[in-house]
A and B are shown apart, each in its own frame.
Chain A
């Protein structure tokens, strides 16, 4: 009996919350105010950031050092 009352009470509260939610969030205007195509086109035109040449040079240098002196990998691993 007590369990049923608690369940009914919870269901009543849930209904109240659903109604309170509707009251708490007033209707929002869903009309789009302007054409977004120009903004989309601008975004499409922006190129992704490029990696500068000196970063590629640094990566190549580090890779060659590790290739010729593989024991350095252990030194790096120790310090990480």
Chain B
């Protein structure tokens, strides 16, 4: 009997083989979204646990990797939703103009802060598409949506960021 069929029947040995085969891919996908290795490891374990709990729902003719990635993306999205910063971004006046490298550092920090305040769905799409440069098809598949919808989310994320950064007086 093939591996996926055995997994769907709940065989733990088959699941172990799949974990060893896919844990690296799942972790890599999650860490690209949450950008924290410790959190990404925890979410990978949670993803694998959920995968096993849902083994009966897995269609043996389906793509295990894509299924796992979708579960991982949903968990990463939940994490971003729960940990979205609440405080508003206020500009702090400077007594004197700081040197160039400090200005650049500050600009990056403000861009990162503004980015983390985006709605989780927009943040995930923009991180994967613009920062990680993943193919739109893969992002759409992982989010369970269409390529057009991902492009729209990226577009909206950039527009919101532009407004926020303009409001803060930050020139990227």
Contact = CB atoms under 8 A, between A and B. Distances in A.
Contacts of A64: none
Contact of B19 (A13, A19, A40): A40
Q: Is the interface of B mostly helix, strand, loop or mixed?
A: helix
Given A28-B37, A32-B28, 10 more contacts: A16-B172, A17-B161, A21-B111, A21-B161, A24-B107, A25-B115, A32-B41, A37-B23, A44-B49, A44-B52
Interface of A: 10, 13-14, 16-25, 28-37, 39-40, 43-44
Nearest to B109: A24
28 contacts: A14-B162, A17-B162, A17-B165, A18-B158, A19-B172, A20-B108, A21-B111, A21-B115, A21-B130, A21-B131, A22-B131, A23-B108, A25-B35, A25-B115, A28-B31, A28-B35, A32-B23, A32-B24, A32-B28, A34-B41, A35-B20, A36-B48, A37-B20, A40-B45, A40-B48, A43-B45, A44-B12, A44-B52
